[in-house]
Structure 1
Amino acid sequence: MKSTQNQNTDYEYYLQAGLALINDQQFASAIVAFDNAIKADASQAIVYQYRGATEFALGNIKAAIADYDQSITLNANEAGSYFNRGIAYEAQGEFTKAIADYDVVLTNNPNYASAYFTRGNAYLALQDFDAAIKNYSQSLTLRPDDPEALFNRASAYHALNNFDAASADYLTAINLNPNLANDLLQ
């Protein structure tokens, strides 16, 4: 049986190896490293979050959600797991679940612009255009030069037939990033 110190050393080694493999975009190998880190110490929430992100990168959405669930079980205050699980839920078309996760993130950190942006995306997908606009506007309060938030808010305005506001946001977004329309429409 290994000592606690050896288990901690093994955990840290495998965790760092997994992170390095992610940086090299060797996602399948990173999963193996994170699996080994979990074998060494299954009580660390962050390794489940990293493995979940890696599973997501590989397109394994259900496995990613399961890892985020475990991370949250181990540390209910881990905002990154809620945020990432929200993105995974969106990828599955489960927008209401995604919004609930973004709500948790924003309750703990009301200045998290990306959570407003992604929650806006979920509301946009649900065709709740007023809520989408509210979230994009909050995101833009925190990051005023975000062309994607402007573009998406413009889309919501357009859906509500508020063409003046839509045009203003579209123009501002394209002025900030002239390639944005091409990038988003591809």
Structure 2
Amino acid sequence: MTSPQDQNTDYEYYLQTGLALINEQKFAAAVVAFDNAIKLDNTQSIVYQYRGATEFALGNIAAAIKDYDQSIALNSAEAGSYFNRGIAYEATGEFAKAIADYDVVLDSNPNYASAYYTRGNAYLALENFEAAIKNYNQALTLRPDDPESLFNRASAYRALNNFEAASADYLAAINLNPNLANELLQ
């Protein structure tokens, strides 16, 4: 029979093994390691968050969302699970759910530029261009040299027929990241 201390040591072993396997991009093996950690201690929200990210990397979006749900059920203050679940919801086209998750993240951390950016993307997908621009503006306030926020804000401006603002943002984005010029040509 294993002692609680041995069980905790084994849990940490599997958790750390899973993280190492992620770094090696061995995602299927990482899921197995996280499964073993969960068998030993299913009360730790972080392992569900890691497994969710790994499932997402494997393209198993439904499994990722389920893991983020469990992580949030165990620790509703874990903003990372809301953020990652929002990204997963976007991948499934559930943009309103993604926005709701980004709202939770931004309520707990109003200086999280990536959450404004991803929420802007969700609004852009919903063709709510004004809301998208507002979010990209906030992201750019926090990260002024973010070429993706500039590029996507330009797309929103273009959709609103504000071609002057769109051109300025496209030019600024391409100056920061010349590879974005290829996206304009597609």
Task: State TM-score, norm by structure 2.
Answer: 0.98
Q: CA deviation at 1:181?
A: 2.4
CA–CA distance in 2 between the matches of 1:24 and 1:154? 36
Where does residue 126 of structure 1 map in the other structure? 126
Following superposition of structure 1 onto structure 2, how do residues 18-97 of structure 1 map, counting pairs within 5 Å? Answer: 18-97=18-97
For 1:47, give the aligned amino acid: V
CA 1:61–1:159 in structure 2 vs 1: closer, same or farther (change >3 Å)? same
CA–CA distance in 2 between the matches of 1:93 and 1:49? 21
CA–CA distance in 2 between the matches of 1:116 and 1:185? 26
* Match status 1:167 vs 2:167: yes
Q: CA deviation at 1:185?
A: 6.5
What stretches of structure 1 of length at least 5 have no aligned partner? Answer: none
Q: How many residues align?
A: 186
Q: CA deviation at 1:8?
A: 0.6
CA–CA distance in 2 between the matches of 1:32 and 1:49? 14
Deviations 1:88-135 (A, max 9, x none): 000000000000000000000000000000000000000000000000
Following superposition of structure 1 onto structure 2, how do residues 96-175 of structure 1 map, counting pairs within 5 Å? Answer: 96-175=96-175
Q: Over aligned residues, Cα RMSD in angstroms?
A: 1.1
Deviations 1:2-37 (A, max 9, x none): 211111101100000000000000000000000000
CA 1:126–1:38 in structure 2 vs 1: closer, same or farther (change >3 Å)? same
CA–CA distance in 2 between the matches of 1:185 and 1:55? 33
Q: CA deviation at 1:184?
A: 7.4
What stretches of structure 2 of length at least 5 have no aligned partner? Answer: none
> Following TM superposition, where does structure 1 have runs of at least 4 consecutive aligned residues deviating by more than 2 angstroms?
183-186
Where does residue 16 of structure 1 map in the other structure? 16
For 2:148, give the aligned amino acid: E
Identity of aligned residues (%): 83
Where does residue 177 of structure 1 map in the other structure? 177
Task: State TM-score, norm by structure 1.
Answer: 0.98
